[in-house]
Amino acid sequence: MDNVAIARILEEVADVLEIQNANPFRIRAYRNAVRTVQGQTEPLSRWIEENRPLTELPGIGKDMAGHIGEIVATGTLAYRDQLLTEIPRSLLELMSLPHVGPKKAKKLYDELGITSVDALEEAAKAGRIASVPGFGEKTQQKILAGIADHRRHGSRMLLADAETFVEPLLDWLRRSPGLERLEAAGSYRRRRETIGDVDLLAVAPDPAAVIQHFLAHPWIEKVAMAGDTRATVSLGSGLQVDLRAVAPESYGAALVYFTGSKEHNVKLRRRGVERGLRISEYGVFRGDGEESIAGREEADVYAAVGLPWIPPEIREDLGEIEAAAQGHVPRLIRREDVRGDLHMHSTWSDGKCSIEEMVAACASRGYGYMVLSDHSKALAMTNGLDARRLREQWKEIDAVRARHPEIRILRSLEVDILADGSLDLEDEMLAGLDVVLVSLHSRFELPEARQTERVLRALEHPEVSIFCHPTARLINRRRPVEMDVDAVLRRAAELGVAVELNANPHRLDLKDSHLRRAKELGCKVVISTDAHHTRDLDLLRHGIDQARRAGLEAGDVLNTLEVEELVQALR
Ligand code: DGT
Ligand code: CA
Ligand code: CA
Ligand code: ZN
């Protein structure tokens, strides 16, 4: 049970209490605890193992420490489970809508008795939301748009969110009687940015015992199907999970089959047919034979059709099988390849940690360098920096540099691209930066031709080094801007401007197909976290997942270089 999963349970408690009109101090206590738990870089389960009192943490009293202990020990919290029976389940879904949240959901419930997304949509269409105090016509429109988006994307869960359910479930399953092997297959294993459902695969001498153990998990709300070797369930979060138990001699074949993608499997089977072999989830069979010639390990299945093992992230039938047949399997980038983070914020703009805290956190991750990139002044709500404050910031950077010789601190700013494509900082200041980041933070709605022109104009500026989160999308929340991505990548390649893969799991921008295109066009790529807190530096792994899906190797990513080479390679 990791900290994210613990925080999620405590947050549900706070949300339900809020709906129930509980004592505000009590609600605050849970919200504070959520923040504290999320802020811990060390797993609280380890604190408990080592008998360190959780009450030493800010905002964690005796009761809260008891709660956390219970969650770590049992995977759930009886108090939360009890609370959830007291409100309609659909209210939680309602609260997760954009522009709603717990406070507004409660108001809608109190004033109009609305308990579900459907009921909310009906009321909004009838114009009844606008008349609720604190809502108004504009909010009503936003809520309707939010529901439409929720409907369009809502069925696919963000991979990072799915992880907070899947990892504890795997931990739980590892305690099943006699379990020998266990893995999450499907899109989860291929690390797609969103997940339709989760496909788990297990091996044990007594499969029915594993299924029984699985079904006892407290998160399971509905059992759609359960047999001796299979179960399909839904969790309270709406996530559907399939568990299959297979024989040890079929494990590799089943893992290939259920990892997919379907298109990849179809092509593998076709290669089998060409060799007189039949491939199924049970194994590889010769002709009409009953006897399997391979199936225990994935590599055996691939070998049977003359292929080396192919990493799950690229199993999409995008040429990986043909390349593997020629002996070309990419050595996909790994987290350890990254030498520094090239995009982060401090309290100088909207970050939550000081420069020194960010620097120390980067150094403790073994990085050789880091880029400090607060916002520019156009983003007033983030307390963006103008030339005067930037000069002041440089003084503080000099002081921190003196205290942290172990890491190179590169001076930067995340400069807004203004509506006409000009940059939100004077040229002489741009020249004083080690690295210049540029981003779109406004006018997302411009038509394609104008947006493209705006971006190209910005990239032409000779000081620009990196174009951050280029399409400005937020997965399931905000569509990418309309822009000729191909034209932008082409020009960036010519100019030597790098494009960012923003590792924040809500962004993952550029996405996998665009990154493939960037590589084809010879455009440089960097992977950065855009951290607003020291703990966000760990989001890097989501960027690595996405880069691997795009088939990127360490050599395709600039921040795998040592600092001198990096500075050379960046314009
Ligand atoms: P998802 O759940 O929509 O995020 O995507 P997947 O890839 O996890 O798809 P899912 O859960 O429907 O199926 C898991 C894997 O099982 C899929 O990647 C390949 C395999 N599979 C499922 N149905 C078929 C099928 O009809 N034919 C073949 N060859 N494979 C299938
Ligand atoms: Ca799936
Ligand atoms: Ca499935
Ligand atoms: Zn940023």
Ligand 2 mean position to 460 CA, how many Å?
Answer: 43
| Cβ 310 vs Cβ 329: under 8 Å | yes
Number of separate domains in the chain: 4
Ligand 2 mean position to 281 CA, how many Å?
Answer: 15
Residue 281 lies in a domain: yes
- Measured from the CB, is residue 266 less than 6 Å from ligand 1? yes
- Measured from the CB, is residue 199 less than 6 Å from ligand 1? yes
Ligand 1 atom having least distance to the Cα of 192:
4
| Cβ 385 vs Cβ 377: under 8 Å | yes
- Measured from the CB, is residue 195 less than 6 Å from ligand 1? yes
What is residue 105's predicted lDDT score, i.e. its pLDDT? 87
What interhelical angle do 485-495 and 512-520 show, nearest 10?
Answer: 40
Ligand 4 mean position to 318 CA, how many Å?
Answer: 32
Instruction: State the amino acid at position 252 in one-letter form.
Output: G
Residue 21 lies in a domain: yes
Atom 26 of ligand 1: nearest residue by CA position? 262
What is residue 230's predicted lDDT score, i.e. its pLDDT? 96
Cis before 261? omega within 30: yes
Same domain for 532 and 453: yes
Same domain for 363 and 489: yes
Which CATH number covers residue 39? 1.10.150.110
Ligand 3 mean position to 281 CA, how many Å?
Answer: 14
Q: Which residues of 235-261 are buried (b: 16+ CB within 10 A; e: fewer)?
A: bbbebbbbbbbbbeebbbbbbbbbbbb
Alpha carbons 320 and 264: distance in angstroms, whole number: 9
| Cβ 518 vs Cβ 489: under 8 Å | yes
Cis before 510? omega within 30: yes
Which CATH number covers residue 256? 3.30.210.10
Atom 9 of ligand 1: nearest residue by CA position? 186
Residue 330 lies in a domain: no
Alpha carbons 436 and 207: distance in angstroms, whole number: 57
DSSP string, 435-457: EEEEE--S-TT--HHHHHHHHHH
75 contacts: CB under 8 Å, gap ≥ 6: 1, 168, 171, 172, 217, 218, 219
Same domain for 351 and 291: no
Same domain for 303 and 384: no
List of E strands, 342-442: 369-375, 408-416, 435-439
Ligand 4 mean position to 415 CA, how many Å?
Answer: 9
What is residue 155's predicted lDDT score, i.e. its pLDDT? 66
Using alpha carbons, select from 162, 22, 158 the residue that is nearest to residue 86: 22
- Measured from the CB, is residue 283 less than 6 Å from ligand 1? no
Alpha carbons 72 and 32: distance in angstroms, whole number: 19
CA pseudo-torsion sign 109, 113, 118, 121: negative
Same domain for 283 and 418: no
Instruction: State the amino acid at position 19 in one-letter form.
Output: I
Domain C-terminal end among 108, 130, 153: 153
- Measured from the CB, is residue 265 less than 6 Å from ligand 1? yes
What is residue 358's predicted lDDT score, i.e. its pLDDT? 98
Tokens of 173: 């399953």
Ligand 2 mean position to 235 CA, how many Å?
Answer: 14
Number of Cβ within 10 Å of residue 388's Cβ equals: 10
Atom 18 of ligand 1: nearest residue by CA position? 260
- Give the residue numbers spanning the domain of 489: 335-570
Alpha carbons 1 and 431: distance in angstroms, whole number: 48
Q: What is the side-by-side strand order in the sheet with 525-528?
A: 340-341, 369-375, 408-416, 435-439, 466-467, 498-502, 525-528
> 């990513």: which residue's tokens?
557
What is residue 548's predicted lDDT score, i.e. its pLDDT? 98
Same domain for 342 and 313: no
Tokens of 192: 């797609």
Which CATH number covers residue 212? 3.30.460.10
Which CATH number covers residue 392? 3.20.20.140
| Cβ 178 vs Cβ 206: under 8 Å | yes
| Cβ 204 vs Cβ 195: under 8 Å | no
- Measured from the CB, is residue 187 less than 6 Å from ligand 1? yes
Q: Which ligand is nearest to the CA of 373?
A: 4
- Measured from the CB, is residue 550 less than 6 Å from ligand 1? no
Using alpha carbons, select from 134, 111, 137 the residue that is nearest to residue 124: 137
Atom 1 of ligand 1: nearest residue by CA position? 196
What are the average pLDDT values for consecutive 10-residue runs of the chain, which has 571 residues?
84 89 92 88 87 92 95 89 83 80 85 87 91 88 84 78 94 95 98 96 96 94 93 89 96 98 97 96 90 95 98 97 97 98 97 97 98 95 95 98 98 98 97 97 94 98 98 88 96 98 97 97 97 97 98 98 96 80
Same domain for 481 and 353: yes
Which of 265, 271, 273, 278 best tests ligand 1's pocket when mutated (most atoms within 8 Å of CB)?
265
Same domain for 263 and 201: no
pTM: 0.78
Same domain for 138 and 120: yes
Same domain for 415 and 280: no
Same domain for 190 and 260: no
Same domain for 406 and 520: yes
339 contacts: CB under 8 Å, gap ≥ 6: 367, 368, 369, 559, 560, 561, 562, 563, 566
Ligand 4 mean position to 223 CA, how many Å?
Answer: 43
What is residue 152's predicted lDDT score, i.e. its pLDDT? 65
Domain C-terminal end among 153, 169, 188: 153
Atom 8 of ligand 1: nearest residue by CA position? 186
Ligand 2 mean position to 176 CA, how many Å?
Answer: 22
